[in-house]
Amino acid sequence: MDAVAQVPQGTTSRYFRTREALLTGAAERLGEQIVSTVDAVEAGESDPERLPDSLTELLYRFLADRPILLALWELDLEANRRPAITDAMARITTVRRDLVLRRCRTAGVELSAEDALLMVMIVNGIMFTAMTSSPEAVPRMGALISGSVRAVLERYRS
């Protein structure tokens, strides 16, 4: 581990005594990175008419960060084998859901927590498909994300 991280021998085990501790630390760091990304774009549109485009753009940003997405999915899979990191991964899902909720509420749309989670799950599936498809497929994913966002938000149109 130390050689891969390019740190002196023994550094990794000094901070992370077990594999679970290392994976939990990685999940927590990933969560911090996602929060940082979210905070960098948090000031979103307050116009309800622009909300679908604003959310699509925000969610599409996660698609552009391939290393974070791959780490997220690797840790999600690992959480199935190592329950010790399940809580850290659940917090990441909550952060992403809450981002959608805040963006909607800023635009005056009282989206339910369940619909915000649904949006995150749909987009996660689209992004997984994009990452495991040919590079030419990635640009087309924007239209799928936009359509999904609009379909969920349609329930809230007055």
pLDDT band at 41 (very low <50, low <70, confident <90, very high): low
Domain ranges of the chain: 19-154
Measured distance CA(52)–CA(78) in Å, rounded: 33
The answer to whether 54 and 107 are in contact (CB under 8 A) is: yes
pLDDT band at 103 (very low <50, low <70, confident <90, very high): confident
pLDDT band at 36 (very low <50, low <70, confident <90, very high): confident
pLDDT band at 38 (very low <50, low <70, confident <90, very high): low
Give the number of other CB atoms < 10 A from CB of residue 99.
24
Burial (CB count within 10 angstroms: exposed 0-12, middle 13-18, buried 19+), residue 118: middle
Residue 16 region by backbone torsions, left for phi larger than 0, else alpha for psi between -120 and 50, else beta: beta
Domain 19-154 class in CATH: mainly alpha
- Rounded to an integer, the average pLDDT of 31-50 is 71
